[in-house]
Every structure is written in structure tokens, then in C-alpha cells.
Amino acid sequence: MRIAKIERKTLETEVLVEINLDGKGNSEINTGIGFLDHMLTLMAFHGSFDLKVNCNGDLYVDEHHTVEDIGITLGQAFNKALGDKKGIKRYSSIYIPMDEALCNTALDISNRPYLVFNVNFERAKVGNMDTQNFKEFFRAFVNESKTTLHINLLYGENDHHKIEAVFKAFARTLKEGIQITSNKVTSSKGVL
């Protein structure tokens, strides 16, 4: 089974992430940030991952350290659970609508981290989370999971709908990209 458990402790946060890439979409999420809990729950469900995330962060400062460290730890767990990546589909591109919002995400599980994040927000916050920290979450995830991820919000009006479309598209892209489709490494180099 493709599972991993990662713990990260700093002077700012204590994060625990457990992931089963071949799960059923079950989740147990407690970040201290309600909207982020909602998005990670959606991610687990739509990606069919079993996901546990627990974080004690310095939210009295703001949520930046918590959001970034969760992205770091989740990326590390994802990478560890994938192992040698042998046989994975590797590439995926998905469009997901959420009411008036439409998002496209494209993924290459390439061992080369890179993020393109074309998402604009109207508000400074969604729930109790600064909208600027969504990019920090995804940047931390791609750096530690060693993936290339393009997130393009084509249009939308409601910031809640926009970011929900992003997380659902992200989850479905991950789900498709990690599918085992052969017994070979999906690279002309012979290694990812």
C-alpha cells in the first residue's frame, strides 16, 4: 500500500500528516483554520485518499506558518507514499466547475518542482484564511512532493467557489496522476 506518515516540529508549528493514496476518501482534519479544514476534507474525498492532518500552529501570529508547514508536510508525505513512482500515469489535466467558477489543473509528477498559480481573489480572506496563503500552500506542496503543478482559474466571481474549484481540480488531478498504468517508469530517461 502507498502510505506515509510524516511529522514536522518547528518553533512555530507541530504538524502530523498521514496519507493512504489508495484509500476511500476518509479524512480527519484539524488545522485550526476552518476553511483549510474544509478544503483538505474535499481534497481527500475527491482524490480518494485517506488523509489525516493535525496541526498546532502559532495562529495568534497569523495562519501563514500553519498553512505553509501543512503544505510542506503533506508534500513530503505524498512523495514518500509514491515511493519509486514506478508505473504511475504521471501526467494529468482536469477541468472542474464549481457553480460559476471553472478551474483547470495540470500535473506532472516529474521530480521537478514548479508552480504556476493563476488565481485572483476579490477578498483578502475566505473564512478566517488569508487568500494569499493558498499560493503558499501549493508552493510548499510542489516543492516537497517534487511535482510540477499548473493551476489556472479560468473565471469565477465568488472567492469561496473559486478556491473550492481549485482544490477539487487539484485532488482529481492527483488521483489521476498517481494511477498505476504499467510496470515501467513513465520517463524516456528511465527514472523520475
| Domain residue ranges of the chain, discontinuous segments joined by + | 3-177
Give strand pairing partners of 8.
Answer: 15
Question: What average pLDDT does the segment 145-166 reach?
Answer: 98
The grid coordinates of residue 24 equal 476511500
Q: How far is residue 53's CA from residue 72's CA, in Å, rounded to a whole number?
A: 12
**pLDDT for position 184:** 83
Residue 188: pLDDT over 80: no
Q: What is the mean pLDDT of residues 6-33?
A: 98
| C-alpha neighbours within 13 Å on the C-beta side of residue 106 | 5
For 160, phi then psi, to 5°, come to -60, -45
d(CA 180, CA 171): 16
pLDDT at 47 over 90: yes
pLDDT-based confidence at 191, cuts 50/70/90? confident
pLDDT tens per residue across span 59-108: 999 999 999 999 999 999 999 999 999 999 999 999 999 999 999 999 99
C-alpha grid cell for residue 88?
504511475
pLDDT by residue (tens digit) across 108-145? Answer: 999 999 999 999 999 999 999 999 999 999 999 999 99
In the chain, what is the straight-line distance between the N-terminal and C-terminal CA atoms, in Å?
20
Q: 187 falls in which pLDDT band (50, 70, 90)?
A: confident
Query: For a pLDDT cut of 90, what percent of the chain falls above it?
Result: 93
| Residue 192: pLDDT over 80 | no
User: What pLDDT does 185 receive?
Assistant: 78
Helical (H) or strand (E) element with 64: helix 64-82
Residue 183's pLDDT band (cuts 50, 70, 90):
confident
Q: What is the pTM of this model?
A: 0.95
Instruction: Report pLDDT for 104.
Output: 98
pLDDT of residue 186: 75
Q: Does domain 3-177 have CATH number 3.30.230.40?
A: yes
Q: Is 162 left (phi over 0), alpha (psi -120 to 50) or beta?
A: alpha
- Please state the rounded mean pLDDT for residues 24-48: 98
